[in-house]
Structures are given as structure tokens and as C-alpha cells.
Amino acid sequence: MEELLADLDLHMFGTKRAGKLSGGNKRKLCVAIALIGAPQLVLLDEPSSGMDAASKRFLWAVIKRRTAECCTILT
């Protein structure tokens, strides 16, 4: 879990409640939750919706790297 938080740049929010996070960090947290346990199938529904361009590129790079070995369905 610590590795996922670090990879998604959420390590500084490890003790913060999800409801107190910004919208972009909530989206990154949802992606982290989807990737827990190295799943064989990952379903993501508009994971970068509402994020600025730099944050989108960062998130998509992490998603691409973390889901290289599994089936990923994006809607």
C-alpha cells in the first residue's frame, strides 16, 4: 500500500480522511484502491475526469505502468 501511495504521490495524505482530500487526490485514491492486490482485471470509470492537464498526464502514466500486466477496461 505504501508503494501505491508513493507512486500516486499520495504518501503525505496517508493519515488524512478521504473526504478531506481535493478532487484530484480523491481520483488518485480511487485508482490506488482499484490497484490494491495486483488484480488481473481493473475497471476504471473516467479516472481523470475534472483534473488539470498535468495531473491527467501524471495519473495516466501511473495507470499505464501499473496495469501493464493486467486487463484494463476504461469507460
Q: Which helix (H) or strand (E) holds 23?
A: helix 23-35
Of all residues in the chain, what percent carry a pLDDT higher than 90? 64
φ, ψ dihedrals at 74, nearest 5°: -115, 140
With left for phi above 0 and alpha for psi between -120 and 50, is residue 51 left, alpha or beta? beta
**How many other CB atoms are found less than 10 A from the CB of residue 30?**
14
Per-residue pLDDT reduced to its tens digit, 29-65: 999 999 999 899 999 999 998 889 999 999 999 999 9
| Average pLDDT over the chain, rounded to an integer | 91
